[in-house]
Structure 1
Amino acid sequence: MERAFVDPSRLDELNIHPSMRMRIDHGLSRRSEPYIGEGNLRLLKSHAGNAAARSQRS
């Protein structure tokens, strides 16, 4: 396995697995919030809602 720091303009020259390239692209997009994915986002919202409900019962 090879690892290196490269200029983003060179990414198209490299053999990068599509799932890793997607992560890199999301990291370079400078979003105001992290990209989590639709399934994971629903899970996090559900977890947050459950935690809020538990704290209200206490």
Structure 2
Amino acid sequence: MTDNTHQNAGSRKPVRKAALQELAKFERKENEFRRKDRAERAADLRLPLDQIQVH
């Protein structure tokens, strides 16, 4: 059974790499969405977003 596990490990690498790339892509989109949303809410509330340090 361990031999079969080691054989499948090699075929999982491309799948894992693709999944990590998709996750990174999603995180970039999510961060951009949050940045835009924060700016829109600040504009609605007339907050000086440039002066506020957002972590």
Which category describes the TM-score, using the shorter chain as reference length?
0.3 to 0.5
Larger radius of gyration: 2
Specify which structure has the bigger relative contact order, considering alpha-carbon pairs within 8 angstroms and separated by 6 or more residues. Answer: 1
Structure with the higher fraction of residues in helix conformation: 2
Q: TM-score, with normalisation over the residues of structure 1?
A: 0.39
Q: TM-score, with normalisation over the residues of structure 2?
A: 0.41
